Structure 1
Amino acid sequence: MSLRLEKVSKRYLDNWILRDLDLEVNRGEICGLIGYPASGKTTILNIISGFVKDFTGKISFEDGIIESVEFLNLHQMQDKSGIRRFLGFGKKELPLSYSEKRTKEFRSVLDKANQVLLLDDPFAGLNGYLRFELIHKLKEVTRERNLAVLLATNDSGDIFEACDKVAVLDKGDIIQIGTPREVYENPECVSSARLLGYCNLIEARRITFSTEDIPEFQTVQGSHKIRTDKVQRRKLGAITQTVFLAIRPEHVCINFGASFPEDNLLRAKVTQVNFKGETTRVSLDAGGLKLQSTVLRLVGLSVGDECMIGLPPNRISILIN
C-alpha cells in the first residue's frame, strides 16, 4: 500500500522541471525530498496536491486515486494576525508570534491527515526544542494513522531526524534514493555528497590501470597519492578524467599514535579550530589540499601546529562529476 508516482513530467515553457520521475512512498513512512533550489521539490508536492494539473505521468494511492491529501506550505502561509494569545482577565491579548502561528498550522494539518501528508520546509526557522517536539509528533502520527508522508526540505538535519528514506533531486530527477544513513555514507554523486552534510571533495585523477585491484589517484591540489578500496570498473571513470574522492570530515583521522601507510597518511597544518558544541571542526592544509576533520575534542593541537592525518580507503567514495 503506497503513494506512487510513475513517469511524472512537468515543463514550464521550454524548461523541464520534472522529467520521467518515479517515486514510491509506503504508508507509515516519511520520505524526504532534498535538492538545490529549483530542483523540483515543491513542484512534486503541488502536483500530488492537485494545485498543478498540467503534467504527464501517473499518480496513484493504493492503486486508486488519492481521496485525502493535506498540504502544508509554510512559505505561502498567510499572516493570521487575527489569532491572538489570551493572557488572562484584565490583560490585553497579543498576536501570536510567527513560530506560534506556524506550530498551530502544523498541528492543524497533522490533525486532519488520514492518507497523504505533504510538507514543504515545515521546520525552517524554528528553535531546537520546538522543532524536536514537532518532529516527534509527526513521526508518532505517521505510524498511528499509517500515513504516507512527503517532506521537502533544504535542511539535512530534517532528513536525519524525521525521515525513513530520502530522495535526492537534481534537475528534475531523483539521482539517489535510500535511507538517510545509506545516502550519507555512500553518496553516488557530488550532489548527494553535498546536500546531506559537509563532505570533503578531493579533485583527483586515476594513475593506475582499471585492471589493478586497488585503484590509486593523484590529487590535483597537493599532488598526493590516495588509494581507495576496490570498486566496480564503471565507477572509476577514464584514466584521464578528473573525479572527486569524497570523504566525510568525521572519517578524516588526526593521528597522534601508531599510524599505517595504507590509511593514506598526509602531513598537514592546522589552520582553524571551530568549537561546535558536541564536536569540534578542524580545518587542515596538506600541502595545498584543504580538508576538514570532525573530532569530539581536540587535545594537544592548536592553530599553526603540524600533524599527520589519515584518509581510510574504505571511507572514500569515487564520484564522477
Structure 2
Amino acid sequence: MPKNANTQEPLTGASIEVDRIRKVYGSTTILNDIDLDIRAGEFLTLLGASGSGKSTLLNIIAGFIKADGGDVRVDGKSITSVPAHKRGLGMVFQHYALFPHMSVYDNVAYGLRRHGFPKAEIPGLVADALEMVEMGHLGKRRPAELSGGQQQRVALARAVVFRPRVLLMDEPLGALDKMLREQLQLEIRRLHKEMGITFVFVTHDQEEALTMSDRIALLEKGDIVQLGTPEELYDAPSCRYAAEFIGVSNIMTGSRAGDVFTDTRNQTTHKVSGGAADGTVLMVRPERLRVSAGQVGPAGHENALPAIVSDCVYLGSDRTVHVRTASGEEMVARTEVPRTDDGIQPGVPVTLTWNIEDARVLAEEAAR
C-alpha cells in the first residue's frame, strides 16, 4: 500500500475473458480467433516477436482497436461496445506521452481534473500515486528535468491514480537501457503486489517476461502457442518455436520410437521419456549439458554425443562452451568455471552428456 493511504485497502483485480477475438487487415490475419482467460489479480504477459499480434490484442482489450469478431468481458460483463475512455482500464505506453509544459504533479492530476474528480480529493490521490512509484519528492519538476526511468514512473502514477482494477502496459520499458529496465522490472512487480490488481503486460523480451510474470501467453502469427507459468514455458515448451523463443536451446531433429529418439543429422540415438509421443525435436538446455574432454563421457549419464570445441566464453562464475558436432550442428553448454584446467579449449574433442530427465521431446509446431 502507498505510505499515505493508510485508510485504503488494496484493490482487487478484475478478470478478463478474451473470447474468439479476431483481427484482419486486408488479406493478413493479425489475430486468429484468440481465446484467453486472465485471472483476477494476476500478472499476465503477452510475449512474442514483432508482428505476433500481442500489441493488437492489448489494444483491443483497451478499446483503441476494434476487433473483427469475438468479445472481451471484464468480470463477466462485455465491454466490446464500450468506448475506451469508459472501460475503466489503466494504460501505460512505451512512449511516456507526458505533457512537457506541466509539472509531474499536474501530469498525474490532469486526468482526475478532466473527469471531474472533487478538487479536495485530487491532492491526496496524486500524492498516493506518486508515493507508490517513489516520485513524491519530485512533484514540482517538469518531464525534461527527469531521467527516462523517472518519466516512466510518472506515466505509471498517471495510470494508477484512478486506482483501476486492470492495468494494461504496452512495452513500457522498451526505450530504457538494460540496467534501468531491470530496476523498473522489479519496481513494477512490487507495484503489482502492493495494488493487488490485474496487470496485462506486453513485451518481446523473454527475460523480462520470465522475471515479472505469473503467467505468460506466447504468441506467434496471431495464435497463442503456449500459456503457462515462466517455469512451464522454460522447462516444458510446447513446440520448437517456444523452446527457441524462451531462453537458449540445443535442438536435435529426428524421430521418436517409444523411449528412443534418433537424431537423423548426427546418426545417434538417445534415451527419452515424456514429452510429445510423436515429436520430431529433442531439446536440451545449455545448463543441462555436461562437457568432458575426450570421446568418452563420464559414467552415470544415459546419453552422449561427440563434438569438437569451437569456442569458450568466460562469464565469471560460469562459462559457455560452444561445440560443433560431426554433422556440423552448433551446440552450447553452460558450466561452472573449473578450479583447475580441465582441458576444455578450442579444437579439443569432447563428449556432451545428459540424463534422460534433462531433455524433452517436442512437436515441430504447436497445436493451433
TM-score (norm 1): 0.83
**Kept after mapping to 1: 8 A contact 2:48/2:219:** yes
Aligned-partner residue type, residue 294 of structure 1: R
SS of the residue 2:24 aligns to: strand
Shift of 1:145: 2.6
Residue of structure 2 in register with 1:312 after alignment = 355
Identity, % of aligned pairs? 24
Structure 1 residue runs of 5 or longer lacking an equivalent are: 86-92, 238-242
Residue of structure 2 in register with 1:236 after alignment = 278
From 32, 47, 60, the counterpart of 1:47: 60
Q: Does residue 1:281 correspond to 2:331, yes or no?
A: no
From 241, 246, 252, the counterpart of 1:191: 241
Deviation per residue, 1:134-171 (Å, 9 max, x gap): 22332233233321111111111111111001111111
SS of the residue 1:138 aligns to: helix
**Kept after mapping to 1: 8 A contact 2:274/2:361:** no
Aligned-partner residue type, residue 297 of structure 1: V
Paired with 2:275 and 2:40, the residues of 1 have a C-alpha distance of: 35
Matches of residues 112-151 of structure 1 in structure 2 within 5 Å?
112-151=162-201
Shift of 1:129: 4.8
From 47, 56, 65, the counterpart of 1:34: 47
> How large is the Cα RMSD of the aligned pairs?
2.7
Shift of 1:111: 4.0
Change over 3 Å in CA distance of 1:203–1:216 after alignment to 2: closer
**Bigger Rg, which one:** 2
From 217, 223, 233, the counterpart of 2:262: 217
From 1, 9, 16, the counterpart of 2:29: 16
Deviates more, 1:301-310 or 1:101-110: 101-110
Deviates more, 1:268-277 or 1:99-108: 99-108
Change over 3 Å in CA distance of 1:103–1:303 after alignment to 2: farther
SS of the residue 2:77 aligns to: coil
SS of the residue 1:181 aligns to: helix
Change over 3 Å in CA distance of 1:28–1:192 after alignment to 2: same
Paired with 1:255 and 1:73, the residues of 2 have a C-alpha distance of: 49
* Larger relative strand fraction: 1
Shift of 1:98: 3.7
Structure 2 residue runs of 5 or longer lacking an equivalent are: 1-13, 80-86, 105-142
Shift of 1:123: 2.1
Paired with 1:94 and 1:166, the residues of 2 have a C-alpha distance of: 35
Paired with 1:101 and 1:145, the residues of 2 have a C-alpha distance of: 20
Q: Does residue 1:101 correspond to 2:151, yes or no?
A: yes
Residue of structure 2 in register with 1:68 after alignment = 88
**Kept after mapping to 1: 8 A contact 2:320/2:334:** yes
From 247, 251, 266, the counterpart of 2:288: 251
**Kept after mapping to 1: 8 A contact 2:297/2:351:** no
SS of the residue 2:242 aligns to: helix
**Kept after mapping to 2: 8 A contact 1:217/1:226:** yes
Paired with 2:144 and 2:316, the residues of 1 have a C-alpha distance of: 35
Paired with 1:130 and 1:77, the residues of 2 have a C-alpha distance of: 15
Change over 3 Å in CA distance of 1:18–1:277 after alignment to 2: farther
Shift of 1:82: 4.5
SS of the residue 2:241 aligns to: helix
Aligned-partner residue type, residue 215 of structure 1: V
Q: Does residue 1:294 correspond to 2:368, yes or no?
A: no
Paired with 1:142 and 1:102, the residues of 2 have a C-alpha distance of: 15
**Kept after mapping to 1: 8 A contact 2:291/2:352:** yes
From 297, 302, 305, the counterpart of 1:263: 302
Paired with 2:44 and 2:346, the residues of 1 have a C-alpha distance of: 42
Shift of 1:113: 4.4
TM-score (norm 2): 0.73
Shift of 1:230: 4.7
Aligned-partner residue type, residue 264 of structure 1: N
Deviates more, 1:195-204 or 1:309-318: 309-318
Aligned-partner residue type, residue 325 of structure 2: A
Paired with 1:278 and 1:151, the residues of 2 have a C-alpha distance of: 33
